[in-house]
Amino acid sequence: MKYQKLFEPGKIAGLELKNRIVMAPMVTMTFGAEGELTERTADYYAARAKGGVGLIICQSSLIMRESRAPFRCSIYDDKFIPGFQKVAQAIHAHGAKAAFQIIHHGRALADYKALLPNPEEIRPLAPSPLSRLLGSESRLGPDGQPTSLAAGDAVPPEASVEDIERIKEGFAQAARRIRAAGFDAVEIMAGHGYLLGQFLSPLFNRRSDQYGGSPENRARFAGEVIAAVKKTAGPDFPVILRISGSDFLPGGASLQETVQQAPFFIRAGADALHVSAGEQATTDRCYPSFIYPQGVHVSLAEAVKKVSPVPVITVGKIFDPALAEQILAENKADFVALGRPLLADPDWPNKVRDGRLAEIRPCIYCLNCLNFADHPYILGRGLTCSVNPAVLREKEFEPVKIANPKKILVVGGGPAGMEAARTLALRGHRVELHEKGDRLGGQWFIAGRQKQKREDYPRLLDYLVAGVARAGVAVHLNSLVTAELVKTIAPDAVIVAAGARPASLNVPGADGPNVFQANDLILGRVKPGSTVVVVGGRTLGLEIADQLADEAKKVTLVTRRQLGRGVERNVYLALRNRLIPKGVHLFPHSPVTAIKEDGVYAVFNNDLLFLPADTVVLAVGVQPENALVRELEAGGPEVHQIGDCLKPRDLMDAIREAAETARRI
């Protein structure tokens, strides 16, 4: 076997694991009204266990009724144990071990109260009464409670020693219930800026009692929680502690302090340390996107492992099995945790073990699984994935051959067209895919050429192209489909996935010789000058500004709406934080009124503003290519319209629509 270390058995305390692959916890949002787990949750975890993972650490669960938060399941009462039992049994049925994470959100609860029924029952607490907005000081309001100078920012009260005792008991009882439900271990969340992590941070913990001050004092609360869990759930019940190796915040929790605190946690009873990164203000580090390199946080785990006699789990954008093997072989960690790669492909472990690497559906680290702004349906139906529409619909998406195969014409070779063609062919239909260009990929090929996406996005294109070939789809390149060609082919149904073309601006000068589309820049068709104005403040505009700044251009970005509108928060934070130190000037809420040879006029703060530039790059969205649909609607075979040619959106909508449409025909 090529990946011997990855598939070598391992142990956490007395818990024996069949390999070194761990599934990291990810919220599913598939709960009942009070947070009880559902059958869909069990099916979801069963699919990952069947895929060959050694240990599944299930999503975080709430330990106390007073600490309820949205999108989380509950374990604060014995009545939740039966639902947890179903999940444990589903995981064990396929040979994996199971743990569940327990959490208290701390000061973050102040932001969640309004989203919950009976918000008066929620008790946000913090190590110290400080604003979550750094630099915004707190003060006492008229009611004597802490408030913030920043509008809309609630400041929770300082946790008393009595609060700490009550919360420790909440963690202990939650762990007892998890063991009673049949789980093999429990993970305590002390990272990502939640309550225990807040106590660890010198930035947010300003206490002067035994829970504040020195690194060991700030670690005391987490250590006492570990001890309480051991006492109540049993000394032989393995406890994993998840920590942030660094908050990546000035004055916050640092790797140096984490290395100091790790032995303290182990003496308290931690049987393994799960080393992540980031805090609520740096969640782009908690969930690294395509902007970050693979294995971005391995060095944090490596530093902790040097002082840890118990196993260390590393996590954070690890998708290549060769890298996972290298991490283990070089003794940088004892286990490798995968999160989003197991959303994209639950069978990642089995495919790696069997040498079927080309068949792995790759995670592209787009973070659309967290993008509620552009994909509000996530809140209604649960966690989803841009590349795998079967997430939380595993049974529904099991392949079933069609009884009466049809002849299907798919128009367009982008992701939507390829996913539809592949799915139709696997169901038994006779499928032709026609692409007007000389290669498959559509807009996705261009996206994969962008500087920030070259590591992640092309892998999906390779997977889709190979999948179309394996399914037996007849592919025709350089084939422009017209109504006449449809008549000649005579299909039973047509799926139009013709994509979209870049949009322009309806302002004077938008067609000038100094105005270029972002796509032309990405493909190297044009050369920008030394001073550039980028128009458009969503993902593409931010990425183009970042790329040009790296090329020593003087860059200004202007957008008519909010900067980063609709962009997943972690992606936005990472891009914004790259632009500022590179000197990119940002002008949100500034609509462009005219483009001249020497610059751009925009409205900023209700005043006309001139932004000098020798080059203007447009990143203002796309227009659907739907002319063929209008022609075919006059009569002929049934027509289905999917992807951007129906309505410009993103990859998640395109692939989901393609998969669902292909299953209805």
Backbone angles phi, psi at 606, to 5 degrees: 70, 15
Q: Which of 406, 373, 354, 340 is nearest to 565 (CA)?
A: 373
Q: Which of 140, 455, 186 is nearest to 323 (CA)?
A: 455
CA distance 618 to 557: 10
Backbone angles phi, psi at 542, to 5 degrees: -65, -40
Catalytic residue among 3, 76, 112, 194: 194
Distance of CA 644 to the CA centre of its chain: 22
Cβ atoms of 180 and 83 within 8 Å: the answer is: no
The pair of structure tokens assigned to 384 is 């989803």
Which run of H or of E encompasses 407?
Answer: strand 407-411
Cβ atoms of 155 and 125 within 8 Å: the answer is: no
3-state DSSP call for residue 418?
helix
Which run of H or of E encompasses 662?
Answer: helix 651-664
Q: What type of residue sits at position 225?
A: V
Distance of CA 455 to the CA centre of its chain: 16
Cβ atoms of 496 and 628 within 8 Å: the answer is: yes
Distance of CA 171 to the CA centre of its chain: 27
3-state DSSP call for residue 134?
coil
Backbone angles phi, psi at 25, to 5 degrees: -70, 135
CA distance 337 to 345: 14
Tell me how far CA of residue 438 lies from CA of 300, 445, 476, 477, 480, in angstroms. Answer: 45, 12, 9, 5, 11
Q: What type of residue sits at position 324?
A: A
Q: Which of 515, 433, 498 is nearest to 468 (CA)?
A: 433
Q: Which of the 8 DSSP states describes residue 252?
A: S
Which run of H or of E encompasses 444?
Answer: helix 443-447
Given the structure tokens 């319209």, which residue do they identify?
A: 641
N- to C-terminal Cα distance for the chain? Answer: 42
The pair of structure tokens assigned to 420 is 């539809």
Tell me how far CA of residue 498 lies from CA of 283, 357, 429, 434, in angstroms. Answer: 36, 30, 21, 10
CA distance 612 to 601: 9
Contacting residues for 202 by C-beta, under 8 A, at least 6 apart: 218, 251, 252, 253, 257
Q: Which of 553, 617, 544, 619 is nearest to 575 (CA)?
A: 544
Q: What type of residue sits at position 309?
A: P
For the question of residue 194 being annotated catalytic, the response is yes
Which run of H or of E encompasses 586?
Answer: strand 585-587
Which run of H or of E encompasses 217?
Answer: helix 215-233
Residues annotated as catalytic are 194
